[in-house]
Structure formats: C-alpha cells, structure tokens
Amino acid sequence: MIIGLKRGTVALVEHQKEWQEAGRECIRLLDSLLGEKAVAIEHVGSTAIPGIHAKPIIDIAVGMRSLDEAMEYKDELAKHEIIFHGEDNPGQLLFVIGNNDIRTHHIHFVPYDGEAWRNYIIFRDYLRSHPERARAYDDLKLKLANTYSDNRKAYTASKDSFIKKTISEARKVHLEIDPNHDSCR
C-alpha cells in the first residue's frame, strides 16, 4: 500500500483498496479516543472514492458538537501521534499523522451540524454513486497535479469550482429525493 506524501507537494497514485482499511483503522482509533464526543467519524476525500487517483493521504472528517470539545483532546491525540496543526479552513481544525516531511493522514474536526460536514459527506457519496462525475474529477486532478506538483495550495484552489459545482448538483439530486430534508444523512 502506498500511503504518505511529502508536505506541500502533489503526487497522485492509482486508487489502493487498502486505503479503505487504513481509513477504518484511523476511525477505530479516533472513536476509542473521543468516544461519544465525536458524533460521527467518516473516511472522506479521494482515498475514500474507489477508482480515482488520489494523493496517498487518508482524509478523515470528525463531526463534533463543538470544536472546543475537540481541543480538549489535543494532548491525548498527541500521545497517539495525531498532531494539531491549527485551523486549516475557517471553522475547521486540522490534526495530522506524520512527521514534518511526510503526512499520512489529515483529520478534519468540524461541527457535525455544519456545512463543512455535509459537504465532505455529500461530495464523497455523490462521486461514489456517479462514476461519470468521479471520472471527470479524476481527469481534472491528474491535469492539475502535472501543473502544480510543487504547489499544493494552487492545486487545491484549482479544484474548488469543480467541487462546489458537484456539491450543488448533489444537493439538487438529494432535494429531489426528499425536499423537506437538507441534510446529507
């Protein structure tokens, strides 16, 4: 299994079926450490979408009632080499597994009832159930990885409009199924 990537770089590899187990292992560890404080823990990101290339970093979303509660576990998480790296996006706390050079996991703590949580889940689930959209995302990622192999921020920013459009499409489909329910669950 290929896992881990030098910080700040972009390198995509073919999907590895072992990533699913790596995600489950991380979820089990987080669940044992956080208990009921974590409302839900999910494997998200490209490593959670079979059939597409991904940076070999396992992304996990942890839905919390309060981000303050996540910070109460900062020292306990550090004992398990899960290191706090600040607020990576407004309203999200980033913890990582890895060292100063190589990262293997990004763990995003977000409010469970918030937009970030819903976006992580609906984007993943939509790509899993719409292979043509997943292929389009894969094609875009491969092109951008060639252009921005040493500029992770530019790579990520260049995917933003595709991600937003996909989430919008997914919400429309979801609302057609259940117009009175705007959650992805």
Please report whether residue 184 resides in a domain.
Answer: no
Please report whether residue 183 resides in a domain.
Answer: no
Of residues 174 and 82, which shows the higher confidence score?
A: 82
Outline where the chain has alpha helix (H): 18-34, 67-71, 74-78, 115-129, 131-147, 152-177
Q: Which of 60, 25, 26 is nearest to 43 (CA)?
A: 60
pLDDT value for 182: 41
Please report whether residue 10 resides in a domain.
Answer: yes
pLDDT value for 175: 56
Please report whether residue 134 resides in a domain.
Answer: yes
* Residues of the domain holding 53: 5-177
**What would the mean pLDDT of 27-34 be, rounded to a whole number?**
97
Q: Across-strand partners of 60?
A: 43, 107
Q: Going by DSSP bridges, is the β-strand pair 58-64/102-111 parallel, antiparallel, or unpaired?
A: parallel
Q: Alpha carbon of 151 to those of 12, 55, 74, 157, 158: distances in Å?
A: 13, 13, 29, 10, 11
Q: Is the pTM above the cut of 0.75? A: yes
Please report whether residue 182 resides in a domain.
Answer: no
Which residue has tokens 């009632």? 65
* CATH number, position 107: 3.30.460.10
Mean pLDDT of the chain: 91
Q: Return the minimum-mean-pLDDT range out of 12-21, 72-81, 84-93, 101-110.
A: 84-93
What's the count of helices (H) and strands (E) in the chain, helices before strands?
A: 6, 6
pLDDT value for 170: 95
Please report whether residue 16 resides in a domain.
Answer: yes
Task: Using the predicted structure, report yes or no on whether residue 42 has a pLDDT greater than 60.
Answer: yes
Please report whether residue 147 resides in a domain.
Answer: yes
pLDDT value for 176: 54
pLDDT range class, residue 23, cuts 50, 70, 90: very high
**What would the mean pLDDT of 1-11 be, rounded to a whole number?**
85
Please report whether residue 126 resides in a domain.
Answer: yes
The C-alpha atoms of residue 172 and residue 83 are separated, in whole angstroms, by 37
- Letter for the amino acid at 172? K
Task: Using the predicted structure, report yes or no on whether residue 61 has a pLDDT greater than 60.
Answer: yes
Contact 11, 149 (CB under 8 A): yes
Per the structure, the count of domains in the chain is 1
